Chain A
């Protein structure tokens, strides 16, 4: 066995390793090779230097500049496509609007949808847009970091994916005119959920599902935001919403017809 082979096999020397035949041969080599003994003895000096080095902490100003750069990068127009390689800016905007428009409905508990929407609207107006931007950035950041996704039109494959990712059985909206094209795991208000993007009449509508204990609630129009409509409902374990650039009546009809329960 050569010195190089022995050193490689026994590196790093402080790490325990199985006593395989080649390790035993390397140790035997070490016992008879002064050069290798010297090499490994010198290494203790490097190990000591490393222990000194690892006590260094990144200075606060460096930390600040690192995270500022990260935030600036994320805020660049069009950067999201590069990062996630799949979702369109449309879906990001949609998610953001959903957070602003439906967030209160989704998270404020069953039966509170009527009250929550006005509260959200007030907060947004009072902030003069700041609340909207914050929600947009928050959701953008979460979604840009690479949650799991699946591009498929196979309903069974999508159901399997969601069941695995969300830890519970999920039912898609089943309608001939709704074609699922993509599923993405997302985070809303700190909860892991999923969005299913459907093709509908040349447009896209997105179905959000967020596991959360909730009393069952029938579908209702939560609010319209420009061309964007939102319908929300709940089952015993999921808060759900359908969002799209179609009329709220159409969305409501899709939800009512597409639900199998």
Chain B
């Protein structure tokens, strides 16, 4: 049976929030705005979502594609640093993402963070492999934030 949009959003909500935070460079207000806009768009564009029925990441794909095609203006909000919701080391990663051009951010989320094969990542974003590879060149910037994640984790280890 076709999954309702509410079911689909419930299923994906945590991942959607993580993706939105990443795309918004760690800004919670921007992330929420992106998340809400995507969910509303998904409800309007149910046929497209329904066609992806069975894919556990249908709304996430929609979010990435919308962000990639029309990078929205995202409101800036209270930084997450120190928030009980986001560990400080993860916030480093999100902030690193914020310093990367938006289209590269979307590509990096899909391929480097979400571990999609290149072909699938390119398909979701509607681009060819060559363009995807170019966008992924910002991986080094993300690496810097990731190193801080690991370093902090080691420091915090017993």
A113 to chain B, nearest CB (A): 27
Interface centre among A48, A58, A65, A73 (most CB of B within 10 A): A58
Query: Is A147 located at the chain interface by the 8 A CB criterion?
Result: yes
Residues of A with C-beta under 8 A to B22 = 53
With contacts defined as CB atoms under 8 Å apart, how many contacts are there between chain A and chain B in the complex?
127
Given A144-B46, A145-B2; A53-B129 close (CB under 8 Å): no
**Residues B94-125 near A (CB distance < 8 A):** 94, 111-118
Which residues of B in the span 9-48 have a Cβ within 8 Å of any Cβ on A?
A: 9, 13-18, 21-22, 32, 35-36, 39-40, 43-44, 46-47
Output the nearest chain B residue to A86 by Cβ-Cβ distance: B47
Task: Determine if A146 and B16 form an interchain contact, defined as CB atoms under 8 angstroms apart.
Answer: no
- Specify the chain B residue showing the minimal Cβ separation from A147: B2
- Measured CB to CB, the closest approach of chain A to B149, in angstroms, equals 5
Q: From B93, which residue of chain A is reached at the shortest CB distance? A: A49
- Give the Cβ gap from B128 to chain A, nearest Cβ, in Å: 12
Contact present for B149 and A70 (CB under 8 Å) = no
Question: A interface, by DSSP: helix, strand, loop or mixed?
Answer: helix
State whether the Cβ of A126 lies closer than 8 Å to any Cβ in chain B.
no
B63: interface (CB < 8 Å)? no
**Looking at the complex, which one of A46, A56, A83 makes contact with B142 (CB distance below 8 Å)?**
A46
Q: Residue B13 contacts which of A63, A147, A192 (CB distance < 8 angstroms)?
A: A63
Residues of A within 8 A of B112 (CB): 43, 46
Interface of B is mostly: helix
**Contact in complex: B90, A56 (CB < 8 Å):** yes
Chain A residues contacting B133 (CB-CB under 8 Å) are: 4, 8
* Structural contact, A70 and B9, CB atoms closer than 8 A: yes
- In Å, the complex CA distance between A73 and B32 comes to 16
- With both beta carbons as reference points, the residue of chain A lying nearest to B47 in the complex is identified as A146
Please give the residue numbers on chain A whose beta carbons come within 8 Å of chain B beta carbons, in ascending order. Answer: 4, 8, 11-12, 14-15, 42-43, 45-50, 52-54, 56-59, 62-63, 65-67, 69-70, 73-74, 79, 82-85, 141-142, 144-148, 185, 192
10 closest A-B pairs by CB = A146-B46, A58-B17, A49-B146, A12-B115, A145-B4, A146-B50, A49-B149, A8-B118, A69-B36, A45-B146
Question: Mind listing 30 A-B residue pairs with CB under 8 Å?
Answer: A8-B118, A11-B111, A11-B117, A46-B112, A46-B142, A48-B146, A49-B90, A49-B113, A49-B146, A50-B115, A52-B93, A52-B149, A52-B153, A53-B94, A53-B113, A58-B14, A58-B16, A59-B17, A66-B35, A70-B6, A70-B9, A70-B43, A79-B44, A84-B46, A85-B47, A142-B4, A144-B46, A145-B4, A146-B49, A147-B2
